């Protein structure tokens, strides 16, 4: 099952993904895309580390996410990717459209081929103001398109609001037809 968890900053996305992984006694792989570029980000990463169980396998992959997902997914394993918008930021920083397109295609392919449970965490950035910079607008647009593509592929889409999950798409509900026909 593939699950896309979207929401604003501090909406409870990561915690919700961790709860999905903690429901069963299964193997958990966490693929993290963040890099500690400054003290504030290092503190955020440390807080996430302190919260998660020590027995989870952690893979740090800021660029080749599709490859990391392919290596990690297997029946009986929960794979959490946290988070897609940081990954997208890493790609945009490369300033190479070919790399961005190739990595997005690799991600979509890995999601389509995944086994076990795959939980993709991402920040919804399109609900706010229009960014003043060209890069900000491009990031917002790229994230929106990525979310739309993945929402079509995933079996379930959850919108997090104030720590509460709102089911947007679930198997057997309208909008789930495309994911179940893969």
pLDDT at 19: 92
What pairing do the DSSP bridges indicate for beta strands 156-161 and 2-7?
Answer: parallel
Token code pair at residue 162: 């104030």
* Segments in 3-133 forming alpha helices (H): 13-22, 39-51, 65-72, 84-94, 97-113
Q: Please state the domain count of the chain.
A: 1
Query: Residues with catalytic annotation?
Result: 48
CATH of the domain at 173: 3.40.50.300
Pairing state between β 117-123 and 2-7: parallel
* Structural domain range at position 18: 2-180
Q: Give the Cα separation of 128 and 116 in Å (integer).
A: 34
- What is the predicted pLDDT for the residue at 176? 53
What pLDDT does residue 42 have? 85
Please, what are the averages of pLDDT over each run of 10 residues along the chain (182 residues)?
95 93 82 88 83 88 97 94 96 94 97 96 89 93 96 97 96 59 42
Structure tokens at 132: 């003043």
Are the C-beta atoms of 24 and 57 separated by less than 8 Å? no
**pTM exceeds 0.85 for this model:** yes
């Amino acid at each position: 099952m593939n699950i896309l968890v979207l929401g604003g900053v501090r909406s409870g996305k990561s915690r919700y993904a961790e709860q999905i992984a903690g429901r069963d006694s299964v193997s958990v792989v966490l693929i993290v895309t963040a890099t500690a570029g400054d003290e504030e980000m290092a503190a955020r990463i440390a807080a996430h580390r302190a919260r998660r169980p020590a027995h989870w396998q952690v893979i740090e992959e800021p660029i080749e996410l599709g490859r990391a997902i392919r290596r990690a997914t297997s029946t009986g394993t929960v794979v959490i990717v946290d988070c897609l918008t940081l990954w997208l930021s890493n790609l945009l920083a490369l300033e190479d459209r070919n790399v961005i397109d190739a990595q997005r295609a690799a991600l979509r392919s890995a999601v389509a081929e995944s086994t076990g449970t795959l939980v993709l965490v991402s920040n919804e950035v399109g609900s706010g103001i229009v960014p003043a910079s060209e890069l900000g607008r491009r990031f917002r647009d790229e994230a929106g398109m990525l979310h739309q593509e993945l929402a079509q592929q995933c079996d379930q889409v959850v919108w997090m609001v104030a720590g509460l999950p709102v089911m947007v798409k679930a198997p057997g509900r309208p909008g789930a037809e495309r994911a179940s026909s893969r």
